[in-house]
Structure 1
Amino acid sequence: MTDQTRVAASLRETARVVDAMAADPALCAAAAEAAGLVASSLRQGGRLLLCGNGGSAADAQHWAGELVGRFLRDRPGLAAIALTADGAILTALGNDYGYARVFARQIEALGRPGDVLFALSTSGRSANILAALEAARAGGLATVGFTGAEGGAMAPLCDLLLCVPSRATPRIQEGHEALGHIICGLIEDALSPP
């Protein structure tokens, strides 16, 4: 198989996953509901907290940047905090409490009832994401999970669960990125209509 053939095959697989997402009414409804949940929280002075590992950490920071800054148009900044972004906090918490608590401890410190947590884990099994969801639940935050396949251990900890229909990490991450952009657009439209 040539590199060009591999590129085409990967693009076809990505398109297949995205088509399956578009054809899933439950997934589309959950994404729309997640955007509404965040918009409602922000209207009431709440915040969106986001966390994930690796590529999912990058997605968390990306989406927070789209909301604090701008997505498609200029408008007032929106309160979104990526719990993945502060190296000093992450390393201090990892050292003092263990890596499984790096997000949960931040949620305990920063989260308030009425806030929303977006937790990203392609496997649905990341220990620090599960702990974050548990801390959010205990603190009165709404929980939205982004994962793949059936949702893994995080499924029962999420008020809303967005499962990309794939078991391949790159395809799941691509699905999450598409969902994140769509949700950012819906939030922006809800809070700053065109």
Structure 2
Amino acid sequence: MTDALYPFLSPAESGDAEPLLSTVARSTVEKAREIVALRREVLTLLGPRIVACGAALAEAFAAGGRLFTFGNGGSSTDAQAVAHLFFAPERGPEHGPGHGLTRRPGARRHGLPAMSLTADVALLTALTNDIGFEAVFARQLAALGTAADIAMGISTSGGSLNVVRGLQEAKRLGMVTVGLAGSGGGQMAECGAVDHLLVIPSPSVHRIQEAQATVCHVLWESVRRALDETA
């Protein structure tokens, strides 16, 4: 099985490492090219949607809203990373306005209110045991969310039921809803609960997650710039 997935890891019959190193290098270059090509495609296809989403998030934050992120597996760690990205304070650019930002060098920006709904293991297991895994995000949003807030659901397939249920509950509450998906969007694209749907045009889980990470950083920068301009 390993040989089929990673043929370049199989022992070389001749004992010569050069073919192995050449194959690994070629594979790395091919993957890097795939990543760059996909990010360019995302910029072309989703650029206006990302801009609109960033503007909506900035408006919600400016009005006192909070960001709630959630997902499963690798998307769970991505959700935590996004929450930390928005929440963590940021120091200003060392070289000042030349970087395109208006803050003075060394200025420190406060973090934005953001939290991941995947971080509390006790709460997740309690909800899973008592109600069902499909409700772990919806129940938290029902308790914590308000119409002023933002819900961001992340799924590589778009078919994670608990993520979709979370977005539906957020929509019911009147929150700004953001969905990051791949593979056509799945149920996330069909549920009618997502205000800003960003579907990565790829069937590869790896490429989808890489592109989603880029989109989240672009959203963060867009929100920060918008808030700086209105400060």
Q: Which runs of 5 or more structure 1 residues have no equivalent in the other structure? A: none
Matches within 5 A, 1:45-194: 45-70=64-89, 73=92, 74-155=108-189, 156-193=192-229
* C-alpha displacement of 1:72: 6.3
* C-alpha displacement of 1:103: 0.5
2:28 maps to 1:7: yes
Q: Deviations over 1:24-66 (max 9, x none)?
A: 2xx1111111111111111111111111111111111111111
Q: Deviations over 1:83-138 (max 9, x none)?
A: 11111111111111111111111000111012111111110100101110111111
Q: Deviations over 1:139-193 (max 9, x none)?
A: 1112111011321111132111101110111111011000001111111122234
Larger-Rg structure:
2
- 16, 37, 41: which one aligns with 1:16: 37
Contact 2:71-2:163 within 8 A present in 1 as well: yes
2:196 aligned partner, one-letter code: L
Q: Which runs of 5 or more structure 2 residues have no equivalent in the other structure? A: 1-7, 9-22, 93-107
Q: Distance in 1 between matches of 2:180 and 2:77?
A: 14
Partner of 2:56: 37
SS at match of 1:102: helix
Aligned length: 192
Q: Distance in 1 between matches of 2:155 and 2:143?
A: 22
- TM-score under structure 1 normalisation? 0.93
Contact 1:75-1:192 within 8 A present in 2 as well: no
Contact 2:91-2:109 within 8 A present in 1 as well: no
SS at match of 1:157: coil
Coordinate RMSD, CA, aligned: 1.5
Identical amino acids, percent of aligned pairs: 38
Runs of 4+ in 1 over 4 A off after TM superposition: none
